[in-house]
Chain A
Amino acid sequence: MAELFILIPGRTSRQGTTLNEGKSTEGYLEEIGTLQVAPEDMQRLELKEGDLVRVFNDVGTITVPCKASRGDELPPGMLFISYGDKSSRLMGGDTQGCGMPDSKCLDVFLEVAAG
């Protein structure tokens, strides 16, 4: 059953360096396409590194591999993904009249992807 999480898309060092190697490189695509989950949530949901998870909200759905975040970087209930194509698929077009779509702290559901 899907659980509600808060997703933070953001910048990482690896995203910045691999961006310069090219947006179609394996390193860049892996960096923007891997979801970080708090170790406690990984354990509770019996997830292991590389397991595919489905993340969705009323805007879109992405299916990505997951991995545990470093140490206590993420509190339980929070997810992180490098900002890019995948995270933007969960971003709506509405900017509430300010020009900026909700791009961080997105409410999303997460469930283990079938298969």
Chain B
Amino acid sequence: MSTSEASLATEGSPEIRVIEDATCTFCGCVCDDMDLTVEGNRITKAKNACGLGKAWFLNHHIEDRPEALIDGEPAGYEQAMDRAAEILLAARFPLTYGLSDTTSEAQRVAVAITDWIGGIVDTTTSVCHGPSGIAFQGVGEVTCSLGEVKNRADYVIFWGGNPAESHPRHFTKYSLMPKGEFVPNGRKDRTAVLIDVRKTKSAKAADHFLQVKPRRDFELAWALRALARGLELDSSIEETTGISLETLHEVMDGMKRAKFGVILFGMGVTMTRGKHLNSEAILALARDMNEHTRWNAKPMRGHGNVTGADNVVSWSTGFPFGVHLGSGFPRFNPGEFTASDVLARGEADAALIIASDPMSNFSQPARDHLASIPSVVLDPKLSDTARTASVAFTVSTYGINTGGTVYRMDDVPIPLRPAFESPYMSDLEILRGIESRIRQRQLAEPASDA
């Protein structure tokens, strides 16, 4: 992989540079083959980027905002870090949340802060593929990298997702179109199935579209599991799932004939009633298929480093999200220690929000409570969450201004190659500053064990 930078400066105009093999962090594909043309503090071209990636790079500019806001008033970083540390130290049940759009280096410090203050660390995974994280613990995950998908997969099932709109390069870079070592003819060597309640734009890319009835993913997965085991089903399965028995047999025959199959499942599975049981059924189907041939199942991840958040929280605490660190050891209990719940129930008494905007996408009870407690927010933009924060830090944007590491949706770590510097500090620098202040105060005033 080349990392060269070509300088194309001409007299009297901003220096033009080309950053080769830069990484796009907008979605979980984390495409690392971007060639970015940078003129001064703007990216003017993003070669190889999809529509979402182009919007991510070309709309990025340095906003003229204060380093921080304290209760809505402009403040410097030092003052804001002092205030943030005070808020977090004073809390009895603090929540750390977000983390899916920042580097893994910053995620690591966020977990450490949560440990020092005895709080909960949760990530946007809990309202994304958290149910799949629960399912992994129930049935395991037969897994593979996207490189294996590219080079081997001859039968690909997209279930409850719409990659054509959410991950536009997935088809062309990893799962459908590329020619691979064992699929030399690319798309011609692959069979693609889309399972969804809507006939989305992705249906055009599939050989078979199975329009499952709403809230019947679980039943459909179990019907396929039954056929995988050679059990008989009757035609009433069509009334249950919306898919005829004949079609199910056709799909299962294809799945058994495949040399390497993969189910790539999205949030249509995890956000619908059944949730972790839906994910569990799909993971179990992939596991069962290994009685016949090689099959895998992978969740399609949304945010650029949500997979990194799972990895960092897992290797720091032993659990992927929804972890309580207030007892001196990690406790994992989705529903009890997940952000949506501790906010909607009015339990958290302070929040540290990193690279996320729960004020615009959480349930109303959760939003109402978050607005009522002191919060520290790190965000490159003045989001709804930053607007209501006690302390809002303006930070640089990861991947564009800040280097570090992110994890692609298949758990492969990818380095970032930033395009240009920002006058603002990174999440990592701010979090380190807050952590340092917290430790100084804790060491100066040891907590009483009484």
Residues on A with beta carbons closer than 8 Å to the beta carbon of B168: 13
Main SS at interface, chain A: loop
Interface flags for A75-100 (1: CB within 8 Å of B; 0: not) read: 10010100111001101111111111
A95 with B198, Cβ < 8 A, contacts A16-B26, A100-B131 known? no
Residues on B with beta carbons closer than 8 Å to the beta carbon of A16: 26-27, 51-52, 55, 165-166
Give Cα A22–Cα B59 distance, bound, in whole angstroms.
9
Q: Cβ of A99 and Cβ of B273 under 8 Å apart?
A: no
Within 8 A of A (CB), among B405-438: none
A100 with B360, Cβ < 8 A, contacts A11-B165, A13-B168, A93-B366 known? no
Give Cα A83–Cα B361 distance, bound, in whole angstroms.
8
| Number of A interface residues in the complex (CB < 8 A) | 43
Nearest CB of chain A from residue B82's CB, rounded to whole Å: 29
Please, which residue of chain B has its CB at the minimum distance from the CB of A9? Answer: B271
Nearest CB of chain A from residue B130's CB, rounded to whole Å: 5
**Residue B318 is within 8 A (CB to CB) of chain A in the complex:** no
A101 with B272, Cβ < 8 A, contacts A13-B165, A17-B52 known? no
Within 8 A of B (CB), among A53-107: 59-60, 71-75, 78, 80, 83-85, 88-89, 91-105
Residues on B with beta carbons closer than 8 Å to the beta carbon of A23: 357, 360, 381, 383-384
Residues on A with beta carbons closer than 8 Å to the beta carbon of B322: 99
Interface flags for A32-69 (1: CB within 8 Å of B; 0: not) read: 00000000000000000000000000011000000000
Give Cα A50–Cα B269 distance, bound, in whole angstroms.
31
Residues on B with beta carbons closer than 8 Å to the beta carbon of A85: 360-361, 384
Give Cα A66–Cα B52 distance, bound, in whole angstroms.
25
**Residue B140 is within 8 A (CB to CB) of chain A in the complex:** no
A72 with B199, Cβ < 8 A, contacts A13-B165, A104-B267, A105-B214 known? yes
Among the listed stretches B248-256, B306-314, B333-341, B439-447, which one makes contact with chain A, having 4 or more residues with CB under 8 Å of it? B333-341
Please, which residue of chain A has its CB at the minimum distance from the CB of B336? Answer: A97
Residues on A with beta carbons closer than 8 Å to the beta carbon of B350: none
Within 8 A of A (CB), among B144-175: 162, 164-166, 168
Give Cα A89–Cα B268 distance, bound, in whole angstroms.
19
Within 8 A of A (CB), among B180-217: 197-201, 211, 214-215
Give Cα A32–Cα B127 distance, bound, in whole angstroms.
18
Residues on A with beta carbons closer than 8 Å to the beta carbon of B393: none
Across the A-B interface, the 5 shortest Cβ-Cβ residue pairs = A93-B344, A99-B338, A97-B335, A99-B334, A17-B55
**Given A22-B381, A98-B334, A101-B363, 11 other A-B residues pairs in contact with their CB atoms under 8 A:** A13-B52, A13-B165, A20-B26, A75-B198, A78-B197, A85-B384, A93-B341, A93-B343, A96-B275, A99-B338, A101-B340
